[in-house]
Each structure stands twice: as structure tokens, then as C-alpha cells.
Structure 1
Amino acid sequence: MDSPNVELMSALSSLYETGKYSDLTLVCGMKSYSVHRALVCSRSEFFEGACRNPFRESESGIIDLTEDDPEAVEHMVNYFYHLDYLKKPLSHKSSQQSPTRKSPMSAQRAHYGGSKKLDLTLLEDPLLAIMAANTVGAAPPSPPDEAQHIQFPSGTRSSSINNTTSTKLPDTPMEEPFDQNPFDGNADQPEESVEKANLLLHARVYALGEKYGIPGLKSLARNKFAAQIDLHLQSPEFPEACQEAYESTVDSDRGLRDVIIQAFRAHPDLPLRRDVELIVRDTPSLAFELFRMASGLPVHS
């Protein structure tokens, strides 16, 4: 049974996906979004004013956002219905299904052809091959030519193995012997632990939150920007995001600027990078604040 919060969010997601009961259209470039005035106008000063006053937009039900960044606009609309962006939205169908956790060894068996037959030629390490064979019930492979003298009697361990490991190999098949797949670490598997750099996108979404009077969107974009900046200081996006943050907001808006200044304070070598130097030269407000920081003065009055 869904919780009230899940029920509400899945209903909003359904409204967004189907456009049912929509009474307002946002247009940006080649895309249009069927939205609901009650949701959009109650959370945005700009859209509330555009629909309340006798403007052309209130009569036609169409608001043109073509001058804005299309990707940022899409994420802004997603925020209205999902309270987030850059994440897979919750649908009513997915909220009622519990994901089935696949064990690491089950996934490995599927990768090597299922549980009935294991292609041991794909395993170069003899110890891993023995482990995999015991796991799926297959016979252990013949050892490499350079190790023909090593024998593996049933229920015993070779003295050669004792020299390299003190861990007894399992005598019976194991369904989930490890928290992590013992075959992980292959060079051909993608790295998913580090989130992709989206500093520039977060800066643009933040600017939309300011432009259209959406405080919640500004706060969310700032948090995402701050969470990423230390992870992606070496990314080519970092200097571009700094310039975007300073040029798309007013001087008194410290949301992203304080995060950027703190990054420069924590990493004094950043201005030595050529790409950062070029951006600082082209962004007077950033250069001025870095000068005040280097001089020991307050960054802003």
C-alpha cells in the first residue's frame, strides 16, 4: 500500500506524463509542456502574474520561454511535478512494484551463460575459476601449463595455494557469499560511483529559479551545485559554470557565488589553470571578488 506522500507524487507524475486537465502551455524552442496553472502559478511569482493580469498569455494560455535554455526549462517543469530534476520520476506503476534484488553471484552466472553451464575459458585466474566451478556445480578447469604440478584433491588444499591464501574454498555452492561481486574490478566495466558533471546545468537552473521567482528550485539547484563542485573541480565545466553563475544573477544573489568563492579559498592553485584564468579575465565581477579575497578583504559588502 502506498504511503500518502508516494500516492501524491505518483498522481502528480501522472498529470505531468499525460497532460490531463492541463490549462496552460509553456513553449521553449521546439518543445511545449502542458502544465496546470494551479501547480505552476502557486509556486512562481512570474507565472502567477502572467496568468492573473490581462496579458496576452493569460488569454491564450501559452507562455513563450524561447529565450531560455531549453534543457534548463525542461528541468524546471520537472521540478514543478517531481520536486526534483535529473532523477527518474516516480510513476504510479513503479511505486507499486518492489524491485527484486539480484544476488551478485546470480548476476555473474547470467553473464557467463546461466546456471547450467559456465564457460571457464573466460576466467584467467585458476582460483577464481575453481570458486566459480564450485558455485555452479561445474568441474574445475585444468590448471595452466606453467602450473601443471599443482593438483587439487577433493576436500584438500594444495600447499602451493597455502602459500598464497589462508582462506578455505567453499565445499558447497554459495548463493550470496559476498557483499560485492568477486568478479568486479574488470577494466571493461563502467564506473558509476561518480556522478556526471552538471555544474553548468545547475547554474542555469538556478538562474531560472531566480528569474521566475521559484525559491524552492533555486535552493535545490544550489544544493546540487555545491554537492558537485568539489568532485568536478578539474572538469572543463567548472570555469564555465563559474562564469554562468556570475553573469546570470545579480551581485546581491550570493547563492552560487559563495560556493564558488569557497572553492577558490580551499584550492588556492585554481587560478593557475589556464582555462580558469581565461574565465576570470572575462568575468569582471568574479575577478574583483577573487582580488578582495586574496587581499584579505570581505568578498562583498
Structure 2
Amino acid sequence: MDSPMIELKSALASLFECGQYSDLTIVCGGKRYPVHRVLLATRSTFFEGACRNGFKEAETGVVDLSEDDAEAVEHMVHYFYHLDYLNKKSLSRRSSQRSNRSVSPRSSRFSRRSPPKKLNLAPVEDPLLALVAAANNSMPLTPPADEAAFQSLDASTKMPDTPMADQIEDDDLEIVQSEEELDVEGPHLVAHAKVYAIAEKYGIAGLKALARKKFADEIDLHLSSVEFPEACQEAYETTFHTDRGLRDVIIQTFRANPSLSLRPDVEMAVRETPGLAFELFRVASGLPVSS
């Protein structure tokens, strides 16, 4: 990521952290989020309408979302300023200063355990995300000019000058390992379903596409988790039957994993979710999911 893009994302994160120049407040339960109308109104059909003159929210400067899920509201607000949510690597003025820290080459063996996923931003209709995507064209790495001379060095020249150097390298290795373990620590399927629903409700196309991508990426990794049936229920109970975003992902997962129906917790979720039960019945009957 080049310096201008780091500067932009750092500035947005700083606005989120300190609330400077905010001219609107989102209230949800006991939390208040100072936000900026221009950032929300240009990326959400709901907030664009709420910020117009004549609406109560435009006059009071307060948007009360207490009826919505508090976790989903928090992720939505975080997305407006970080272009992501549930991401430990979101930039701020402090974290951006550490973004160029090198990682020990020996950490590569941990990357095979959980390969990074690249988000396809093409269908995301968010102007800031489109700007980030345009600026993030990666450049090929250039090998050292004198690579042959480097390979000819004997082992003694490659040893660290002091024991402390090796200890620092080991510390970096431990940090990378712990970060990888955190990345696969547990599922967030229910959270993604909630974010998808709130993005649809408030007309945030970029967030909706991002939530679907995260949901689809995680579902195969956490089929055996207790959160899987709950996420299926959440997705079907918070979206219209015509909205196939999460529903198609779930149906395809059941098609690819017939043994899911043998799990008692999954069976209970299907029994309690008529929409899911109906669509699985059509699949089992060889009929199209939607008539």
C-alpha cells in the first residue's frame, strides 16, 4: 500500500477514534457514535435521506438506531471509517506507523496453515473501497542485484551478530504465529449475517457485499461449529426470500455437505426455520430453490 493510501485510511481512522469535526450522532442502546454526515450520506441511501433538511434527524443531529442489533450497528459504523470490520489490522495513526515492519522469512510456514484471502472489490459499490482498490495494484518484488554473491556467503556470515538479534527474530515468529491463530480462532458467521442484514436495511451496498464475502469465506471453515446452525437461522430470519445473497451460500453448503442434515443441532435449526426447511425440501425433490 503506497503512502497516499495509508495517509487516507489513517485519517479516516483518526476521525473515527477522536470524533473531530463530527456533525451527527448515532445512538444505539448505551453507546453514542460521533460520525460525519458526508461520509455516511454518500454511501448509504438511508443516511442520505436522514441528513436532508426537513427530517428530524437532520434537525437534531441524532439518529437513534436502538431497535437494531448493537453489534451490527458497531460493525457498520466501524466500516464507514475503516472500509472493513472485524479486522484486527484496521489502520489508525498509531498502527499505520508500524505497517511497514518486516516479518521474519521463517514465518512463511505458518502462512500455509491459513492462506490470506483476497477480497474481490469489483462488485462493491462503495466509492472509498473503489479508490482503495485502484491504488492497491501490487508491484513485483525485485531480487537482489548481486544474488550470486549473496548465496556464496558462508554460514558464519549469516549468523546474527548478537544473541539478541536471534531472540528478536524468534519474537517476530511468535507474533506472526499468534496472529494466524487469532485469525482462525473462531467463527463470526452470525455477526456477518447481522451485518449483511443491517447493510441491506440501510442501503449500504459496499458493506452488504463485504459481509456476504466474509460469510462465504468462513462458512466452509466452520461447518462443524455450533455457530453454523445459528447463522443459518439468522440469515433466513433477517432477509427477504428474494434476497439470495446469504441464502444461496447456505443452500450450496448443504448441497456440498449432505451429512450436515444428520447433526441434531442443524436438524433443530431447520425445524425452527420454515424458509430454510422449504428450500431444502425443494432441493431434495430436485426442484429449483425459488419458484
* Fold similarity call, TM over 0.5: yes
Other-structure match for 1:196: 186
Q: How much has 1:271 moved relative to structure 2?
A: 1.2
The correspondence for 2:254, drawn from 245, 260, 264, is 264
SS of aligned partner of 2:27: strand
SS of aligned partner of 1:269: helix
| Identical-pair percentage | 65
Other-structure match for 1:32: 32
The correspondence for 2:201, drawn from 211, 220, 233, is 211
Residue 91 (1) aligns with residue 92 (2): yes
Q: How much has 1:34 moved relative to structure 2?
A: 0.3
SS of aligned partner of 1:66: coil
Instruction: Give distance in 2, aligned partners of 1:298 and 1:195.
Output: 36
Other-structure match for 1:81: 81
Instruction: Give distance in 1, aligned partners of 2:80 and 2:15.
Output: 11
SS of aligned partner of 2:197: helix
Residue 252 (1) aligns with residue 242 (2): yes
CA pair 36-229 structure 1, distance change in 2 beyond 3 A:
same
Other-structure match for 1:287: 277
More moved, 229-238 vs 44-53: 44-53
Instruction: Give distance in 1, aligned partners of 2:19 and 2:184.
Output: 34
Gaps of 5+ in 1: 106-169
SS of aligned partner of 1:92: coil
Q: How much has 1:232 moved relative to structure 2?
A: 0.4
CA pair 33-297 structure 1, distance change in 2 beyond 3 A:
same
CA pair 285-10 structure 1, distance change in 2 beyond 3 A:
same
Equivalence map 1:1-301=2 (5 Å)? 3-88=3-88, 89-97=90-98, 98-101=100-103, 174-175=159-160, 192=181, 194-301=184-291
Is contact 1:2–1:95 with CA below 8 Å preserved after alignment?
no
Gaps of 5+ in 2: 108-154
Is contact 2:76–2:195 with CA below 8 Å preserved after alignment?
yes
Instruction: Give distance in 2, aligned partners of 1:101 and 1:227.
Output: 25
Is contact 2:75–2:195 with CA below 8 Å preserved after alignment?
yes
Q: How much has 1:285 moved relative to structure 2?
A: 0.7
Instruction: Give distance in 2, aligned partners of 1:172 and 1:42.
Output: 57
Instruction: Give distance in 2, aligned partners of 1:216 and 1:2.
Output: 23
Is contact 1:2–1:96 with CA below 8 Å preserved after alignment?
no
Q: How much has 1:53 moved relative to structure 2?
A: 4.6
SS of aligned partner of 1:32: strand
Q: Which has the higher contact order (CA 8 A, sep 6+)?
A: 2
Is contact 1:27–1:64 with CA below 8 Å preserved after alignment?
yes
Instruction: Give distance in 2, aligned partners of 1:217 and 1:243.
Output: 21
Instruction: Give distance in 2, aligned partners of 1:221 and 1:99.
Output: 29
Is contact 2:53–2:59 with CA below 8 Å preserved after alignment?
no
Q: How much has 1:201 moved relative to structure 2?
A: 0.3
Superposed CA offset, 1:123-153 (max 9, x none): xxxxxxxxxxxxxxxxxxxxxxxxxxxxxxx
Relative to its length, the structure with more helix (as a share) is 2
Q: How much has 1:72 moved relative to structure 2?
A: 1.1
SS of aligned partner of 1:81: helix
- State the number of aligned residues: 230
TM-score, scaled relative to structure 2: 0.72
Instruction: Give distance in 1, aligned partners of 2:66 and 2:15.
Output: 24
Is contact 1:24–1:34 with CA below 8 Å preserved after alignment?
yes
Is contact 2:27–2:64 with CA below 8 Å preserved after alignment?
yes
Superposed CA offset, 1:258-297 (max 9, x none): 0000000000111111111111111111000000000110
Aligned residue identity for 1:83: L
More moved, 194-203 vs 284-293: 194-203
SS of aligned partner of 2:33: strand
SS of aligned partner of 2:51: helix
Instruction: Give distance in 2, aligned partners of 1:28 and 1:259.
Output: 30
Q: How much has 1:3 moved relative to structure 2?
A: 2.2
Aligned residue identity for 1:16: F
Larger radius of gyration: 1
TM-score, scaled relative to structure 1: 0.70
